[in-house]
Chains A and B, each alone.
Chain A
């Protein structure tokens, strides 16, 4: 790695940190837009103005907004996002209990969907225009444009109701054996995979086709090199950057999908926690969960960009 690449990456990292700061400001100000505040919400309509004022003072709500934002950000960075308004438990503790389950779900999904999507994408790019390619393409377009809960309900109908292989509800906590693990994760992972694989396949296919269109691929074809060899030896090494970029970007769709999937399968992850927090309007919890999701999203986009920089051959020779 040379100085040029390093400088570009550093610049991108700085930019990501700045974006995260902006996003945190966005999260804070959106959740504080309403005139009614946390003290009023915690005490309810029946509270006297005096008790509300006392609690406002205790929460520090009498301070100006920018100061409160700085305070909130400081607390967040030191790992203390405040107390839940609904059940008076530290938000950090609630999130700590749920985050591993969500990360596990995401990890299993990524482990299944990345290889599957790469193979589908590369093969359909190799046999562009064939029936296989067309079937893959049409199913990918359809899967991307239908709601996640349709995929989930159809999966439940087929595998839990008709075939009775799996149960409709996920019980990830008591998964000790391999069989139980597979049973617990199969449904949510399958649903998430459908959405992610569709995205990733399309982007991988596009990246490989882009390389196959270039003149060196045409040259190889004219020399009489076999199609498999052109793809594997010539196009693929050059497509790795765009593909890695596509993988990271597609994984960022996990964040949206995971909200619906956790909700439908009653999966005890951070998305269900956030939905409950939105329903009960537990603002500190909403803020913390939003920050985790936004940070995760930005991290994946950042990874996509860094991978693209690192794998760009034009930057290597300088």
Chain B
């Protein structure tokens, strides 16, 4: 509760105190979010090497056991160590989502810059085509792709990227249209600079903050979509496992309240809430919105 009050007063105060507010660059909530996101990113890199057991090794004679000193988060439906399962799953969860979000944001932003800069029929064509894509709900699109091609890591990344690219495009285009009208862009055009130069040197740096905030939000959507698919056993296929598949494979323990079901789900929640806290409370975003 203290953290909540802190952040609220911090946000309320920051617009009024421009110079001295510098000490409080980011609110407490942003720091918490940064901590959570940093932790999981670190785990995605070093997780498998610090895991106490091998993720596939059956180490406990008891299935769905509770917390113990030997198995901090208990064991799964086969008697494998949950801490190790989750640590190994971090890489799949974050890696796939990061790859898909990068693809979506980069292509979306590039298309948006191109559309805003060229205007006319090119802009209209790209915008209308992507609008049509948006009218298929994301989960439906993903289910159809999996039904057609069968599930694989590549397909999951490509599907999630296609699903969330139009959204990234919309945000970036609305920003780019504004930036495009600025004098410095007009000046660059008058100088006869190339399209690529104007896009990357003149326009992109002036819209990068909202684009990055949107990247964070999109990352959350992708994590939720991919773990949802894995939960339906249509995402990451065994022997690989992301957090969504961990929930699914242990679902038989739900009736007895097994930790193995709830812990991977909590891991997903902590990651998505962490990203949300981070982008919602970064200094500047709120001021820009109001």
Binding site for B on A (CB under 8 A): 19, 22-23, 26-27, 30-34, 129, 134, 138, 141-142, 145-150, 153-154, 156-157, 160-162, 168, 252, 255-256, 259-260, 263-264, 274-275, 277-279, 281, 283, 286, 290, 293-294, 297-298, 301
Q: Given A146-B269, A147-B265, A153-B261, are A259 and B139 also a contact pair (CB < 8 Å)?
A: yes
**Number of B interface residues, CB 8 Å?**
45
Bound form: Cα–Cα A32–B140 in Å: 15
Contact A26 B265 (CB under 8 A): no
Contact A34 B149 (CB under 8 A): yes
Q: Given A138-B4, A274-B143, A290-B143, are A298 and B135 also a contact pair (CB < 8 Å)?
A: yes
Bound form: Cα–Cα A290–B275 in Å: 31
Q: Identify 22 residue pairs between A and B in the complex whose beta-carbon atoms are under 8 Å apart, listed by A's number.
A: A19-B135, A22-B135, A30-B144, A30-B148, A145-B224, A146-B268, A146-B269, A147-B272, A156-B255, A255-B140, A256-B137, A259-B139, A260-B228, A260-B231, A260-B232, A264-B231, A275-B143, A275-B232, A275-B234, A281-B147, A286-B147, A297-B140
Residue from B147, B148, B234, B244 within 8 A of A147 (CB atoms): B244
Contact B135 A160 (CB under 8 A): no
Contact B234 A278 (CB under 8 A): yes
Shortest Cβ distance from residue B145 to the other chain A in the assembled complex, whole angstroms: 7
Bound form: Cα–Cα A130–B123 in Å: 45
Of A19, A146, A252, A281, most buried by chain B (CB within 10 Å of CB) is: A146
**Chain B positions 267 through 281: 1 when the CB is less than 8 Å from some CB of chain A, otherwise 0:** 011001101100010
Cβ-based interface call for B132 (8 A): yes
Residue of B nearest to A158 (CB): B257
| 15 further interface pairs, Cβ-Cβ under 8 Å (given A145-B275, A157-B262, A255-B140) | A27-B136, A138-B4, A147-B228, A147-B231, A147-B265, A157-B254, A161-B257, A255-B139, A274-B143, A275-B143, A278-B144, A281-B147, A281-B150, A293-B140, A297-B140
Residue of B nearest to A34 (CB): B148
Shortest Cβ distance from residue A162 to the other chain B in the assembled complex, whole angstroms: 7
Q: Given A146-B268, A278-B234, are A293 and B137 also a contact pair (CB < 8 Å)?
A: yes
Shortest Cβ distance from residue A35 to the other chain B in the assembled complex, whole angstroms: 11
Residue of B nearest to A272 (CB): B232
Of A147, A277, A298, most buried by chain B (CB within 10 Å of CB) is: A147
> Inside 8 A of A134's CB, which chain B residues have their CB?
4, 8
Contact B140 A150 (CB under 8 A): no
Cβ-based interface call for B127 (8 A): no
Contact B135 A294 (CB under 8 A): yes
Tell me which residues from 200 to 249 in chain B have a Cβ below 8 Å from any Cβ of chain A. 220, 224, 227-228, 231-234, 244, 247
Majority secondary structure of chain B interface residues (helix, strand, loop or mixed): helix
Contact B254 A153 (CB under 8 A): yes
Residue from A149, A161, A252 within 8 A of B265 (CB atoms): A149
Contact A161 B140 (CB under 8 A): no
Q: Given A26-B132, A277-B147, A278-B147, are A256 and B139 also a contact pair (CB < 8 Å)?
A: yes
Shortest Cβ distance from residue A73 to the other chain B in the assembled complex, whole angstroms: 16
Residue of B nearest to A252 (CB): B137
> Inside 8 A of B147's CB, which chain A residues have their CB?
31, 277-278, 281, 283, 286
Contact B255 A278 (CB under 8 A): no
Bound form: Cα–Cα A259–B280 in Å: 29
Bound form: Cα–Cα A293–B132 in Å: 16
Cβ-based interface call for B99 (8 A): no
Bound form: Cα–Cα A145–B223 in Å: 10
Residue from A150, A274, A297 within 8 A of B137 (CB atoms): A297
Shortest Cβ distance from residue B71 to the other chain A in the assembled complex, whole angstroms: 19
Residue from B141, B145, B255, B268 within 8 A of A168 (CB atoms): B255
Residue of B nearest to A280 (CB): B147
Residue of B nearest to A293 (CB): B140
Contact B273 A146 (CB under 8 A): yes
Bound form: Cα–Cα A260–B139 in Å: 10
Q: Given A26-B132, A145-B276, A260-B231, are A286 and B262 also a contact pair (CB < 8 Å)?
A: no
> Inside 8 A of B280's CB, which chain A residues have their CB?
141
Cβ-based interface call for B181 (8 A): no
Residue from B8, B132, B268 within 8 A of A22 (CB atoms): B132
